[in-house]
Structure 1
Amino acid sequence: MSFLSSLNISASGMTAQRLRLDVVSENIANIETTRTEVGTPYRRKLIKLEAKDDFRTAMERAESAGNTGGVRATQILEDETDLKSVYNPTHPDANEEGYVMMPNVDLVQETADAMAATRAYEANVTAFNTVKAMAQKALEIGK
């Protein structure tokens, strides 16, 4: 596997984790949104990540010095768990009994997801920098 494909793999991981953090940020921003453009409460969004290659395919491509592995986002899905019902008769979106349907966003879950995405991003940066340092050391051999 060439060092450039290693950089591409790390870059794909950084891109995926940045998108994951964008989705978490959107969820947190809409934690109180009771009415979207379609008139329903906001639903938590989830990102679906997929490996670009399985291990066997990656090994076969590595032998031919092709681009290997990495990750890609395939979908951004809506979480279909139940919405929260909160009693607030003064809210403009309250029903006749005084209940408002609130988004299914949990701040604790979103914070944990943001932390996990940040740590995964940092791990990819570390791998990227390690490959870069290896390439620099290899260039110093010729001096």
Structure 2
Amino acid sequence: MTMNDAVDAEQTEKLLAPLRHELLHPIEDMQDENDRQFITALARGLELLRCFTPKHQHLGNQELAQMTGLPKPTITRLTHTLSRLGYIKQVPNSSKFQLSVGVLAFGYSMLSNVSIRSIAHPYMKNLADYAGAAVAMATRDRLNMIYLDVV
């Protein structure tokens, strides 16, 4: 690595840092004192649900507070509410939580509205058969990709 490469990497990081922060901590940037329609508590609850991923299936209040940047007492109230509503549940013999079946309703509802899946599926199948490989269709969700269909 040359000196120029190190400088370029440092400059790139400086440019990307605000974008990365906005994508990873959107609640802070969404709040607008003039937007009376925006419900901060709802946004916080939904951001908490986004923390659960295949890589982070079981999370405690402290971890959720670190991931969201929200105070731990706020996280405690959110996990209590989301648990009572059936969106998360406590992992047995643990203080951690995991997603519950209640969140599936959102996913199934969203997938049923994505007509491109039914249109693309036969073409994906043909391509998979021809190539002898898996074919996937995904959409971007902030810094992640969400698979809509895999053949």
Fold shared by both chains (TM-score > 0.5): no
In terms of Rg, which structure is larger?
1
TM-score by structure 1 length? 0.24
Normalised by the size of structure 2, how large is the TM-score?
0.23
